[in-house]
Structure 1
């Protein structure tokens, strides 16, 4: 009897990076007949793969790395696919001795781009670079978008006021760092000229921002920041007319659904981090060309030069036109 191939894919963080591993897992499961595909991540990110039909088992990183290593050894994997490539995953590979294929990071190239704007980084999307890691198994890109699966279905009237039904635009105002987020007043100006009710999404950390934006626009905006679960927020994305969002996990999750997405970039840049709406025709990437941009890979707490032009200079009309355009085919 032919032995079943057993593979562990590893990506420990963060939300966006893990979201972009889903095409790799899907291709492995569909293209390797009878293969068993497991995925290892941190407990905080387990929701990304819960309910994913292409994963046979979800492993969670334990507080003591040796416990995780023991669990991996017990599974007797044929291959480890390391899509993280950090100290922890290096220790896992060393301690288990399992044949591994490792994602190639570009730390020097990214540093040169940030410091001197010398562009030696790959122009491939992160998903395509992840897929190169499993090419030795004969895996091919299936050309499909990322995957995300809702944990349950909801009813819109239970989540939104009647004034925002049935058609609304979602504006994702959350992002980890200040320089990834647009100033509140600018968001409000854009929302005022959108011809649909607007729902603001984000975590509890931007609830005050949402309240301020809503105060500029009256009943047109519904601030749902910090009031919904992630699953409920994702459900609202699946029902939205259009989606506008910054470089943050929820915006990347939005790419999994058949909805037009405008991806807005401030101090970070798609070419630096290697991500933009993947395999989506109904998407726009919006940012401005500046000598000082990008200034950071992850975002900063303030603009290093004090002017914050990367967000302030984005033309409002570009986002307004995106939201109001009836034809989603672009």
Structure 2
């Protein structure tokens, strides 16, 4: 059986789908999977060994160039590729109108959430098979249940495995016992103060770990350079492709991260991961992993570097006692 997964974005949502793929590998070894995803996250999907072809969609870019002939040519080529693959089933794991429209391009039966379960009920107009999955569950569990219903098995929810492996290539200068500091995030109110990142880097050095910082835009570069200037022993690495950053994160001993997609990735790798949430509720979409923990700031309060380090040390001890 050949199945196409449609989960186009965001990075965290894509990562939340990996445990469902792992369930399917164990319960339906006869099923092969391809994936349709936003071009920016194709490298993340490629981390899972069970994924075959990766079809890239560019909805974010296409919307900005809706009347450009190149946009329509790319969309037409995607439709042609999806139909040529001759899938038996599409699972729309996103439940949005945009993902349903992408799924429809394959011209085969589509499975997805029912009207009460989907994030956008209008998406269900395009589905051939609709399944009820409670909305008050974490996104990972909702997706695992959807896959089980669509493919005819009961997922074992007592465990959580993503199945992804970090790429072989990594960043130069990040060897040894490293702690990756993921300071960058999309909103100002989600950012931990620079002074707290600096203090955390100093505390990590005291514990014999090398802090690692990188950046992807101008504001993140300023923060990374401030940390490296205050803590010269920290490893400041340049802006790098997503796959290279993923490799470096995957080989870290510890990750401390803001509310950002790469923090979800660290959790999915099974790393000791401390997520610092300041303005958003982790709720049903926060990082999940065997050694992942979320520190949530109370209204009007803050999270201190000492609290982060205490939680980091607890997770490091737990992971050291886990079976290999």
TM-score by length of 2: 0.76
CA contact (8 A) 1:6 1:79 kept: yes
Q: Deviations over 1:5-27 (max 9, x none)?
A: 22111011121111111122233
Could you tell me which of 14, 19, 26 is aligned with 1:18? 14
- Give the equivalent residue in structure 2 for 1:222: 235
Q: Aligned-pair distance for 1:219?
A: 1.6
Give the gaps of 5 or more residues in structure 1.
109-120, 291-308
- Runs ≥4 residues deviating over 6 A: none
| Per-residue Cα deviation, 1:74-114 (whole angstroms, up to 9, x for no partner) | 33322110012333333345565532222434479xxxxxx
Report how many residues are paired: 283
Aligned partners of 2:104, 2:179: CA distance in 1, in Å?
48
Aligned to 2:295: 286
SS in 2 for 1:135: helix
* Residues in 1 aligned to 2:177 and 2:52: alpha-carbon distance in whole angstroms: 37
Deviation at 1:144, TM superposition (A): 3.1
| Separation in structure 1 between the aligned mates of residue 193 and residue 212 of structure 2, nearest angstrom | 17
Q: Which of 54, 59, 63 pairs up with 2:55?
A: 59
1:102-251 matched pairs, under 5 angstroms? 102-103=112-113, 104-106=117-119, 122-136=135-149, 137-142=151-156, 143-154=159-170, 158-160=172-174, 166-194=176-204, 195=206, 196-205=209-218, 206-215=220-229, 217-224=230-237, 226-251=238-263
CA distance, structure 1, for counterparts of residue 244 and residue 106 of structure 2: 39
TM-score (norm: length of structure 1): 0.75
- Displacement of 1:45 in angstroms is 1.4
C-alpha separation in 1, matches of 2:316 and 2:289: 19
Post-superposition Cα deviations, 1:202-250, rounded to whole Å, max 9, x if no partner, equal 42340111112333x33233322x4443333223323323210011111
Structure 2: segments with no counterpart, 5+ residues: 59-70, 122-133, 320-324
CA displacement, residues 111-166 of structure 1 (integer Å, 9 cap, x when unaligned): xxxxxxxxxx9442211111222232223335332243333244x7x323xxxx52
Give the C-alpha shift of residue 327 in structure 1. 4.9
Match of 2:36, SS? strand
The Cα of 1:267 is off from its aligned counterpart by 1.3
Q: Which residue of 1 aligns with 2:99?
A: 89
Q: CA RMSD in A?
A: 2.8
Q: State the Cα distance separating 1:179 from its structure 2 match.
A: 1.8
Question: Distance between the aligned counterparts of 2:250 and 2:167, measured in 1?
Answer: 13
- Matched-pair contact (CA < 8 Å) for 1:146–1:255: no
Aligned match of 1:260:
272
Offset, 1:284: 1.7
2:43 alignment partner, SS class: helix
Deviation at 1:188, TM superposition (A): 1.6
